[in-house]
Amino acid sequence: MKKIKQIAYFGFASAAPNDPLYKEAFECAKYLTGKGFIAINGGGPGIMKAVSEGAKAAKGRVIGVTFYPKDITTYEGSDPENPLDQVVVTKNYLERTLKLLELGDVYVIFRGGTGTISEFGMAWGLAKLYFGHHKPLILYGEFWNEIMKTLKEHMRIRPQALKVYKIVSTPEEAYQAILLFEKLVKQQEHKHGEEKAFQL
């Protein structure tokens, strides 16, 4: 039985349809949705819309998580042209991020801005905290190699935190990473089950 069923995608909200990044997200979501995964995104434009369109091209299901701010001037907002099957409305930006992280069983993170950095940081931190039964990260794009190398060199990163993500550059690689994470999750659950039985 699959443990990873839903994928939460994050990335640049201002990516235009003619941006290679937009096309990259579209193809990735189309491929992974075609493998049976539900797509989840923030319900807005850019990468979020690309993900939804890719998922719908594969005849899959899409869940959008959004909120309606009263005092935020630079929030991208919801996109009425983002083809969602279900909309989850939250109270604020933080709650929206937490809901996206809650609904996803794995996270695919594309190139983005400060919002994407924030989402990546929270997802990575949670994976480290819950290491062993965490939700894994798939960092999409070769540029992540340089970013993660810099973080390892200049920040104080614990060894466990380096085991919760994979860097990929194609939809096929993303799928293989999911299969590997699925295998690791099952192995970890089996190990915990044996330990619990031994204690009993």
User: Strand pairing partners for 87?
Assistant: 64
Quick: pLDDT tens for 57-115.
999 999 999 988 877 766 777 899 999 999 999 999 999 999 999 999 999 999 999 99
Domains, the chain, ranges and CATH?
Answer: 6-199 (3.40.50.450)
The tokens of 163 are what? Answer: 């085991």
Token pair of 191 as six digits:
């190990």
**CB contact set of 177 (below 8 Å; sequence gap of 6+):** 136, 138, 166, 168
**Res 198 pLDDT > 70:** no
* pLDDT (0 to 100) of residue 159: 93
pTM of the entire structure? 0.92
Are 142 and 167 in contact by the 8 Å Cβ rule? The answer is yes
